[in-house]
């Protein structure tokens, strides 16, 4: 279906960030956003591109009280010849459907997500950054805004897409990889079986902030979560999935518990490692196995994977008051190769030999 969303251009364009090498993560937002509404009996309607501006929201809206919402994270890249492309949007569409089902949010057809992204990026195309390590972060989200205190799914929803020119989530935005310190959290938990761990919902992150704040006290950038039942097996990192290379086996937590966010970068890492003949296992891995490997010298690499994090190597784990060094604390070869290949394909610097890139048909 062809969508022709009406556009209201801003009359007050913002100054562009002065230095693309100092963007940070989601500190700047573009001039426009996409909005659409859902009403019972009508479905999704009135898609439109409007100036990025604060929303008017009734204080009794259910999302502000019961957090019925979902979001996605994607990125757009500009190739050397000005083509704008995104990465594996079919995976975001599938994950969005699973999240919406879990949260009783009406299904959003994937073609609307893609058409909305294209419509809003078309207006803000000159905001897509080009400095090494940068991208235009795309944040689609849906929330229920029915005025109701009943703990029941809303009868009215809003869907928005906002855009932010962005550098790396954790480290210096210089296009290079740098190691991060991570705090192993064994008091609080992120997700339990039957909960919303596999869904992309704000509550998973809001509930993790206590732990992230504690991690900062130990000079750590984020938290490595352990399983809810035994506080023994590694699950994921605050913003991303986690990979461990021990004795030439790369290990990541399996998805079958329903507590792990099925990251698109996670899936891409697994596929690339299989293609390269690297041993990759989706299996339970205990924190004790990791600390032992650090001590006996077999812990070769740890890295985080995610849309925001891309591939972020981890140089030190802080657990139970002790620092565990990952190899020599420097960026490992597997993390570096993954980063170079993923970001290379995304930005068109290397051939998309996995067929993962989706061109928006827009040229800057
Ligand atoms: C993303 O990687 O897109 C995310 O949603 C992580 C975010 C919580 C920073």
Q: Domain limits of the chain?
A: 20-173+357-363, 180-330
Contact 318, 181 (CB under 8 A): yes
Q: What is the pLDDT of residue 171?
A: 64
pLDDT at 172 exceeding the cut of 90? no
66 lines ligand 1 (CB under 6 A): no
Average pLDDT, the chain: 96
Q: How far is the CA of 71 from the centre of ligand 1 (A)?
A: 9
Token pair recorded at residue 178: 């740098």
- Residues 293-317: what's their mean pLDDT? 96
Element (H, E) at 23: none
Q: What pLDDT score does 170 carry? A: 80
Closest atom of ligand 1 to CA, residue 238: 8
Question: Would you identify the CATH topology of the domain 20-173+357-363?
Answer: D-amino Acid Aminotransferase; Chain A, domain 1 (3.30.470)
Rounded to the nearest angstrom, the distance between the alpha carbon of 73 and the centre of ligand 1 is 6
Q: What value does the mean pLDDT take over residues 95-116?
A: 98
Rounded to the nearest whole angstrom, what is the distance from the C-alpha of residue 140 to the centroid of ligand 1? 11
pLDDT band at 175 (very low <50, low <70, confident <90, very high): low
Q: How far apart are CA 299 and CA 8, in angstroms?
A: 54
C-alpha 239 to ligand 1 mean position (Å)? 5
- Give the integer Cα–Cα distance in Å for 157 and 333: 45
Nearest to 163 by CA among 61, 292, 77: 77
**Topology classification of domain 180-330:** D-amino Acid Aminotransferase; Chain A, domain 2 (3.20.10)
Q: Which residue has the least CA distance to atom 7 on ligand 1?
A: 239
- C-beta of 208 in contact with ligand 1 (< 6 A): no
240 CA distance to ligand 1 middle (Å) = 7
For a substitution probing ligand 1, which of 306, 309, 310, 312 has the most ligand atoms within 8 Å of its CB?
306
Report pLDDT for 173: 58
Tens digit of each residue's pLDDT (9 = 90 or more) over 113-145: 999 999 999 999 999 999 999 999 999 999 999
DSSP, collapsed to helix, strand or coil, labels residue 242 as strand
For the ranges 23-37, 172-186, 272-286, 297-311, the lowest mean pLDDT is seen at 172-186
Exposed / middle / buried, residue 2 (Cβ in 10 Å: 0-12, 13-18, 19+) = exposed
Instruction: Supply the residue whose CA is at minimum distance from atom 3 of ligand 1.
Output: 73
> Which pLDDT score is estimated for 174?
66
Please report which confidence band the pLDDT of residue 310 belongs to, taking 50, 70 and 90 as the band edges: very high
| 306 touches ligand 1 (CB under 6 Å) | yes
Give phi and psi for 339, each to the nearest 5.
-60, -50
Pocket test for ligand 1, best of 91, 309, 311, 342 (most atoms within 8 A of CB): 309
Quote the tokens at residue 345: 């394909």
């Amino acid at each position: 279906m062809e969508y022709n969303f009406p556009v209201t251009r801003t009359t007050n364009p913002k100054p562009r960030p002065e230095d693309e090498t100092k963007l940070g993560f989601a500190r700047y937002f573009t001039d426009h956003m996409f909005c659409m509404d859902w009403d019972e009996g009508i479905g999704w309607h009135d898609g439109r591109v409007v100036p990025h501006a604060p929303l008017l929201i009734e204080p009794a809206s259910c999302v502000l009280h019961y957090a019925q919402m979902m979001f996605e994270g994607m990125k757009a890249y500009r190739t050397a010849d000005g083509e704008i492309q995104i990465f594996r949007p079919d995976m975001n569409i599938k994950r969005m459907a699973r999240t919406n089902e879990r949260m009783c949010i009406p299904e959003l057809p994937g073609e609307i997500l893609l058409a909305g992204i294209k419509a809003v990026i078309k207006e803000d195309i000159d905001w897509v950054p080009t400095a090494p390590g940068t991208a235009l972060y795309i944040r689609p989200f849906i929330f229920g805004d029915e005025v109701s205190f009943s703990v029941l799914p809303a009868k009215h929803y809003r869907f928005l897409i906002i855009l932010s020119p962005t550098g790396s989530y954790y480290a210096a935005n210089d296009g290079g990889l740098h190691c991060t310190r991570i705090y192993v959290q064994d008091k609080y938990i992120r997700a339990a079986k039957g909960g919303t761990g596999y869904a992309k919902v704000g509550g998973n992150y809001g509930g993790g902030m206590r732990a992230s704040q504690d991690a900062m006290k130990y000079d750590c950038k984020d938290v490595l979560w352990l399983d809810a039942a035994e506080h023994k097996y590694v699950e994921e990192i605050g913003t991303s999935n986690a990979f461990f290379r021990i004795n030439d086996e790369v290990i990541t937590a399996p998805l079958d518990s329903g507590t792990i966010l099925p990251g698109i970068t996670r899936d891409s890492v697994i596929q690339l490692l299989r293609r390269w003949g690297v041993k990759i296992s989706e299996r339970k891995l205990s924190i004790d196995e990791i600390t032992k490997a650090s001590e006996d010298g077999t812990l070769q690499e740890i890295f985080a994977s995610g849309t925001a994090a891309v591939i972020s190597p981890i140089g030190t784990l802080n657990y139970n008051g002790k620092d565990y060094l990952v190899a020599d604390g420097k960026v490992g070869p597997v993390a570096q190769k993954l980063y170079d290949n993923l970001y290379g394909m995304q930005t068109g610097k290397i051939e998309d030999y996995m067929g993962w890139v989706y061109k928006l048909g827009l040229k800057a």
